[in-house]
Structure formats: structure tokens, C-alpha cells
Chains A and B, each alone.
Chain A
Amino acid sequence: NAGVTQTPKFQVLKTGQSMTLQCAQDMNHEYMSWYRQDPGMGLRLIHYSVGAGITDQGEVPNGYNVSRSTTEDFPLRLLSAAPSQTSVYFCASSYSPGGGGYTFGSGTRLTVV
């Protein structure tokens, strides 16, 4: 059972470039979310989805887009990368927004130069 799979694990981007961070889960979870983790800032919610076709903004959504065309996949798109988006990104999924079975991926470390 793979759980939550994130790719890539590491990425270096130049300012202004765009890219997509991939997230897939095989637990049939309805709720999926993206966080960024910065030193001393904890986990900050970027976007979340309560099911296929439904997404909403979290605490720090600017500069990021998401879509949810299937239950399994929840990609995060950086539209025009900025140095302020240098961070570690985590995708997570659970049965519900309340957190039952909340499972995190192993993260993507992104550096924007």
C-alpha cells in the first residue's frame, strides 16, 4: 500500500518558471490538502479539496493553483516561481476534513533561485 506519493522529491527552479508538484493517494480518501513547511512557521495550508471537482483556498494560496479531476490525484501548480516559494511542500489525505486517517506524503523540497 503506497499511501500518499509525492513527486519529485527535490526540485530547483529559476524565478519565473512554472512547474507542477504531483500528489497521488491510493486510499480512496475524499479529503486532500497541500501544505508548505518553513523554519519556525509550522505547516501552512495552501489549498485543499473535499472531493473530485471541489477545491478551496487555505491560509497561503497566492501563487499556487490546484485542480482535482480524480479522487486519487491532487497536483499543485506554481504559476511563476518566486524565491519566497522556496520551501518544503507536503501533500496529505484523509477520510474527511476532520483528519481521520490523515496521511502525509514524504515531501518535495523546492528551491527557487
Chain B
Amino acid sequence: QQQVKQSPQSLIVQKGGISIINCAYENTAFDYFPWYQQFPGKGPALLIAIRPDVSEKKEGRFTISFNKSAKQFSLHIMDSQPGDSATYFCAASGGLYSSASKIIFGSGTRLSIRP
């Protein structure tokens, strides 16, 4: 019930295309859903996050779509660029300031954008 399942494990997209990474969760108490971006040799860094009271959040070319009834959320990267090539992790927790629910990470997606 604490797992966050992420797919695909790896993804290759042509430059200018749309990259889509999906995550699913089971714990309905989860209240905070961030995405992290990790470049080679670096630690993951917060990219964008959403709470379940909205169905979509957009920041530049990055959009999170959230489906509360299906317990799924996804990251869409529009007009994908070679500089977007990185590993992406979805995550979930009981809340941004929750003291009871640790953040749980998905298994990661290695994204490669071909020129």
C-alpha cells in the first residue's frame, strides 16, 4: 500500500516530441506528489509538485496530470530537448509537512532525447 509504481523504466523520445512518464499509487492518504529530476553525477532535484485538489499543474514545458479516482499521476514534457535527458523520479507522501508519512519514491525513468 506504500508503493509508488513508475513506468516506463526507460524512454527514448525524438527532439521536439512529448515525453510521458506515469506513476500509480495505492495509499489514498497520500497528499503530496512531487517529481524529481536527476542528471548524471548529481543528486535528484525537485522539478515540479502537485496536490490532489487540482487535476493539472504546469510549469513551462513540464506538466503534471493527476487522476485522483484512478490513483495515477503523470509527467508530461512538451517539446522535449536533449537537455531534458535525465532520470526522473515520481514520489508521494502524506503531505508536505507530514510528520507521520515518509516520502516514497518510484523506481525512476531514464529519459533520453534524441537530436
Partner of A43, one of B42, B98, B105: B105
When A43-B105, A48-B102 are in contact, do A104 and B93 touch as well, CB less than 8 Å? Answer: no
Partner of A95, one of B31, B94, B97: B97
0/1 string, B15-49, CB within 8 A of A gives 1: 00000000000000001101010000111111000
Contact B93 A99 (CB under 8 A): yes
With a cutoff of 8 Å between Cβ atoms, the chain B residues found around residue A90 in the complex are 43-44
0/1 string, B86-99, CB within 8 A of A gives 1: 00010101111111
Tell me whether chain B's interface is mostly helix, strand or loop, or mixed.
Answer: loop
Contact A96 B97 (CB under 8 A): yes
Residue tally, chain A, CB below 8 Å to B:
23
Contact B94 A104 (CB under 8 A): no
Per the 8 Å Cβ criterion, residues 69-115 of B in contact with A are: 89, 91, 93-103, 105-108
Categorize the interface residue count of chain B. Answer: 20 to 34
With a cutoff of 8 Å between Cβ atoms, the chain A residues found around residue B98 in the complex are 96-98
Asked whether A53 is an interface residue with its Cβ less than 8 Å from the other chain, the reply is no
Minimum C-beta distance from A101 to chain B (A): 8
Asked whether A87 is an interface residue with its Cβ less than 8 Å from the other chain, the reply is no
Q: In the bound complex, what is the Cα–Cα distance between A42 and B109 (angstroms)?
A: 9
- Give residues in A with beta carbon < 8 Å to B: 4, 40-43, 45, 48, 50, 90, 92, 94-100, 102-107
9 tightest CB-CB pairs across the interface, nearest first? A98-B98, A104-B43, A99-B103, A42-B107, A100-B96, A97-B102, A98-B93, A98-B95, A42-B108
